[in-house]
Amino acid sequence: MLLMGLVCMMTTLYAQDLNFSQYYNAPLLVNPANTGFNPDYDYRIGGNYRNQWASVGVPYKTMGIWADTKLFADRFENGWMGVGGSIIKDVAGSGNLSSTGGYVSLAYHQMIGNSSLLSAGFSAGVVAKRIDYTKLRFDNQWNGQFFDISVPPNEPFAYTQTGYVDVQAGLNYALFASDNVYFNVGVSLMHINRPSESFFAPSISNSQLEMRYTYFANASIKLQDVWIVNPNIYVSKMGNAKEVLLGFNANRDLGGNGAQQMILGLYYRSNDAAIPLIGFQKNDLRITVNYDATISSLKNLNGARGAYELSIVKHGLFPSSSGRSIKCPSVRF
C-alpha cells in the first residue's frame, strides 16, 4: 500500500537517491573527489548493505560495491590521480521497484604546501529502474471488502523500466594540522545533467531529477595514543528533501601498534533515527555494523525498528609500492 501511493504520485514527488548511514564507508557515492583519496594505501575495495523498514512490509534493500586506486603517483610532483568505479542497487517494496546504477569516477589530488590537499573529481554513470506494477494494488480495485486484481488499475503507465545517464562532480579540501589532528570538508553536485526519470509517457510526465547538493565535514583527532576520534557531519539536499546526519566514530587501539582496533560510534539523523555503531579493524580490513533506531513518528508503525547496515572495506598496497614514500600525512596509530 505504501509503495502504491508513492507510485501513483510520481508526477509530483521528487525521486530519492540511494544513501547509507555509513556514508563515509561509501566514499565514491558521496563525492567523486574522494576517488583515490587514500593517503596511506594504493587501493580500496568496499561493500555496503542496508535493510530498511522490514517491520512495516516488504523490506527496502540497498547494496553496493566500489573500488578505487591511485594513478601516476610517481609522475606528478606532490599530486596524483584516482580512478574508481561503483555499482549500486536498490530494491523497494511489494512492486519490486528496483534501481541499478554503475558509475566510473576520476579525481585529481594536489598537495598545497606541506599540510593541505585539494581534490577535484568527476563521475558519470548509467542508471536503470524497473517496476512490476502488476504486484501493486490501486484505489479503483477496492470493492469495499478487498482489492479485486481482476479489475484493471486504469493507471497511465507506459513503461515498466526506464533509464538515464547521470553526471556528478565534487571538490574536497583536507588540512593535516599535525600528526594528531586532521580536518576534511567537501561538496558535491549530483544529477548535473538533470536526467528525466518516469514510468509514464512524456505527454503525462517527463519528470527531471532535481540536482542533489551534498556537503560533509569530518576530522580525526588522536587522543593519548590509544583513541582516534572522528566527528562527522553530512548534509544532503535534493528538491524538497533534506537529510542531516551528525555524530562520531572512535577507534580504540587494542594491541599497541594499530594492527587491531575496536570501533564504536553514535550518529543522529535529524527527525528520523539514532544510530549506534560497532566495528572491528584488523590490519587493512575493517567491518562495521550500525542500527538505525527510529525516533520519528514512524516508530508508532515500526516499533522503532528502522534499519541495519553492514560495511566492509579493504585497503591495500601494490607490491611495487614497497618503500615508496607517502605524499601527504595522516592521523594513524
pLDDT of residue 188: 97
Q: Is residue 130 assigned to a domain?
A: yes
Q: Is residue 332 assigned to a domain?
A: no
Q: 17-31: per-residue pLDDT in tens?
A: 667 999 999 999 999
Q: Is residue 120 assigned to a domain?
A: yes
For the chain, how many structural domains are there in total? 1
Q: Is residue 327 assigned to a domain?
A: no
Asked if pLDDT for residue 12 goes beyond 50, the answer is no
Q: Is residue 328 assigned to a domain?
A: no
| DSSP conformation letters of 219-239 | EEEEETTTEEEEEEEEEEEET
Instruction: Report the chain's mean pLDDT, rounded to a whole number.
Output: 85
Answer with the residue of higher pLDDT: 94 or 113: 113
Q: Is residue 205 assigned to a domain?
A: yes
Q: How many CB atoms lie within 10 A of CB 117?
A: 22
Q: What is the mean pLDDT of residues 94-114?
A: 89
Pairing of strands 227-238, 241-253: antiparallel
Q: How far apart are CA 106 and CA 35, in angstroms?
A: 6
Q: Is residue 59 assigned to a domain?
A: yes
Asked if pLDDT for residue 323 goes beyond 60, the answer is no
pLDDT of residue 7: 38
Answer with the residue of higher pLDDT: 149 or 187: 187
Q: 167-223: per-residue pLDDT in tens?
A: 999 999 999 999 899 999 999 999 999 998 877 777 777 788 999 999 999 999 999
CATH, residue 189: 2.40.160.40
The closest of 278, 271, 270 to 249, measured between CA atoms, is 278
Q: Which domain holds residue 266?
A: 2-321
| DSSP conformation letters of 87-112 | EEEEEETTTTEEEEEEEEEEEEEEEE
Q: What is the mean pLDDT of residues 249-268?
A: 95
Q: Is residue 331 assigned to a domain?
A: no
